[in-house]
Amino acid sequence: MTQRERNWLLLAPAAAWFFVMLILPLSFVFVFSFGERGDAGGYVPAFTFEQYANLPARFAAFKNTLILAPLGTLAAMLIAYPLAYQLAVRTDPKWRLILLVLVIVPFWTSILIRSYAWLFILGGQGIPRLLDFIGIEDVRLIYTPFAVLIGIIYGYLPLMVFPIYVALDRLDKRLLEASADLGARPMTTFFRVTLPMSIPGMATGCMLVFILLMGEFLIPALLGGGKVFFVGNALVDLFLQSRNWAFGSAVAMMLIVVMLVTVTVYMRLIARLNTQRDDDVALM
Amino acid sequence: MRIYAFCVYLFLYTPIGIIALFSFNAGRHASQFQGFSVKWYGRALNNPFVMEALENSLMIAFTSAALASIIGTMAAVGLHSMRGPVRAIFDAVIYIAIMIPGIVIGIATLIALVTVFDVVNPWLAGLWADAEAAPQFSMGRGSVIAAHTMFTMALVVVIVRARLSTVEGALMEASADLYAPPWVTFRRITLPLIAPAIFAGFLLAFTFSFDDFIIAFFVAGSETTLPIYIFSSIRRGVTPEINAIGTMVMAASLILLIVAQLILRRDKKT
Domain ranges of chain B: 48-269
Determine whether the interchain pair B254/A105 forms a contact, defined as Cβ–Cβ distance below 8 Å.
Answer: yes
- pLDDT tens per residue across span A247-270: 999 999 999 999 999 988 988 988
- pLDDT tens per residue across span B168-210: 778 888 888 888 888 888 888 889 889 988 998 999 899 899 9
pLDDT of the residue at B269: 54
Tell me what the mean pLDDT of segment A185-201 comes to. 89
Calpha distance A169→A88 (Å, rounded): 5
Calpha distance A217→B103 (Å, rounded): 8
pLDDT of the residue at B176: 82
What is chain B's mean pLDDT, rounded? 89
What is chain A's mean pLDDT, rounded? 89
**How many percent of chain A have pLDDT more than 70?**
97
Determine whether the interchain pair A18/B93 forms a contact, defined as Cβ–Cβ distance below 8 Å.
Answer: yes
pLDDT of the residue at B96: 92
Nearest CA in chain A to B104: A252
pLDDT of the residue at B97: 94
Q: How far is B16 from chain A (nearest CA, A)?
A: 7
Look at A60-64, A131-135, B208-212 and tell me which has the smallest mean pLDDT. A131-135
Mutate to test the interface with A, among B104, B158, B217 (most CBs of A within 10 A): B104
| The pLDDT of residue A202 is above 90 | yes
**Closest of B218, B109, B46, B162 to residue A18, by C-alpha:** B109
Q: How far is A282 from chain B (nearest CA, A)?
A: 33
Q: Hey, what CATH topology would domain A62-231 get?
A: MetI-like fold (1.10.3720)
Q: The CATH number of B48-269 is which of 1.20.1250.20, 1.10.3720.10, 3.40.50.1580, 3.40.50.10740? A: 1.10.3720.10
- pLDDT tens per residue across span A101-126: 889 888 888 889 899 889 888 887 77
The complex's ipTM works out to 0.91
Q: How far is A182 from chain B (nearest CA, A)?
A: 25
**How many percent of chain B have pLDDT more than 70?**
96
pLDDT of the residue at A280: 62
pLDDT of the residue at B180: 85
Look at A58-72, A192-206, A270-284 and tell me which has the smallest mean pLDDT. A270-284
Tell me what the mean pLDDT of segment A226-237 comes to. 93
The answer to whether residue A117 neighbours chain B at the CB level (below 8 Å) is yes
Calpha distance A226→A223 (Å, rounded): 9
Provide the 10 A C-beta neighbour count for residue B117: 16
Calpha distance A76→A23 (Å, rounded): 33
pLDDT of the residue at A22: 97
Tell me what the mean pLDDT of segment A8-13 comes to. 93
| The pLDDT of residue A136 is above 90 | no
Look at A18-32, A125-139, A224-238 and tell me which has the smallest mean pLDDT. A125-139
Say which of A15, A29, A121 has its CB closest to residue B108: A29
| The pLDDT of residue A41 is above 70 | yes
In chain B, count of helices (H) and strands (E)? 12, 0
pLDDT of the residue at B37: 84
- pLDDT tens per residue across span B37-96: 888 899 899 999 999 999 999 999 999 999 999 999 999 999 988 888 989 999 999 999
Q: Which residue has the higher pLDDT, A81 or B182?
A: A81
